[in-house]
Amino acid sequence: MAGLHGQFGIAARNFTPYPEMPDAQKLIEYGVRMEELGFDSLWVWDHIFLGVDPHFPILDSLTLLTAIAARTKKIKLSTGILVLPLRNPVVLAKELSTLDNISNGRLLMAMAAGWYKREFDAVGVPFEQRGKLMGENLDILKRLWTEDMVQGEWTNHKIPAGVMFPKPVQKPCPILIGGYADRVLKRAALEGDGWLTYFYKPEAFVESWAKVVNFAKEGGKDPATLMNGNQLPIMVGKSRAAVEETMMKWLNVDFDIAQGSQSTMDSAIMGNVDECVAQLKEHIDAGVQKLIFVPYKYEMDQIEIIAKEIVPQLRAYAASKKR
């Protein structure tokens, strides 16, 4: 998995502010278009209930990715992030291995423990146990994907003889872990295939990624095998001053920041093309391998500028750093 620097992903708008509804057909076409524009990965959001007042209608992440998988050939299909404890891990192992087969090995799942208590209450999963369940569910997933027969007992699952085929196409089928606490960073290093964060400024990224690397070394795992990514909001315009108020207004309506994390709206990339490129180079310098753009309101003119004027400069810069 080494040598993955300089990859560029794009977020999809599978949730909208009510009364607007996400359009499934348009989102599938969006996925096709993102592949045509040369993005390496497509990232969808994962929630069951998102918000109360205001609330945000959302399409299921895995169903949407499956539809996009059937219409695309190259683009990686990702969740930023899948709330793992909300899912039955045995059912999820089957769903994801099927999706990896449908996409011919293009899954790049990112998962986390979640932080919306009301979703846990609604699906009958104890919120206070989410960290423990995250670890157990990961273990079940990975074992069902790699072992011919799985035997074991977990908090909610007794598997005397679990045989699950077909396995994912990818061996291993990668899982990034999202979150910010030290125990989560350790899990990303040792139980996952790397770490995904969102809305992190370069200096915050450096600090947390150093912890992931150290946890890997302490646990006897080669840090060079680990992946990472940072989801960053971006708005391109005449100047930072020209777009800042508009961008911040949107971010503060559509996005939440987890308490205690170093995520911040101030991470937003804003300005003209050159200013945006300069800000994004700082992330590449910080060691971010996958830059995942959350474009202002997912507007196509924004996305076209990112794909045609910003990403080529960043690809060249990332390649020059590897020489």
110 domain residue, yes or no: yes
256 domain residue, yes or no: no
102 domain residue, yes or no: yes
Q: What is the pLDDT of residue 4?
A: 47
DSSP alpha helix (H) spans, 219-310: 240-254, 273-285, 300-305
Q: What is the pLDDT of residue 277?
A: 98
Instruction: Quick: pLDDT tens for 210-253.
Output: 999 999 999 999 999 999 999 999 999 999 999 999 999 999 99
Helix-helix angle 311-322:273-285, to 10 degrees = 30
Instruction: Quick: pLDDT tens for 167-201.
Output: 999 999 999 999 999 999 999 999 999 999 999 99
Q: What is the pLDDT of residue 323?
A: 76
Contact indicator for 43, 49 with CB cutoff of 8 Å: no
- Residue-averaged pLDDT of the chain: 96
Residue 97, pLDDT > 50, answer yes
Amino acid (1-letter code) at residue 294: V
241 domain residue, yes or no: no
Amino acid (1-letter code) at residue 292: I
250 domain residue, yes or no: no
Residue 267, pLDDT > 60, answer yes
CATH code (residue 207): 3.20.20.30
151 domain residue, yes or no: yes
309 domain residue, yes or no: no
Residue 2, pLDDT > 70, answer no
Per the structure, the complete domain to which residue 164 belongs is given by 7-230
Instruction: Quick: pLDDT tens for 297-322.
Output: 999 999 999 999 999 999 999 999 88
Strands (E), the chain: 7-11, 41-44, 76-79, 82-83, 107-112, 150-153, 158-162, 175-178, 194-198, 227-236, 269-271, 290-295
171 domain residue, yes or no: yes
Q: What is the pLDDT of residue 183?
A: 96
- How many residues are there in the chain? 323
Residue 129, pLDDT > 60, answer yes
Residue 208, pLDDT > 70, answer yes
Q: What is the pLDDT of residue 91?
A: 98
Specify the number of domains making up the chain. Answer: 1
Distance CA 267, CA 234 (A): 9
Q: What is the pLDDT of residue 5?
A: 54
Q: What is the pLDDT of residue 3?
A: 42
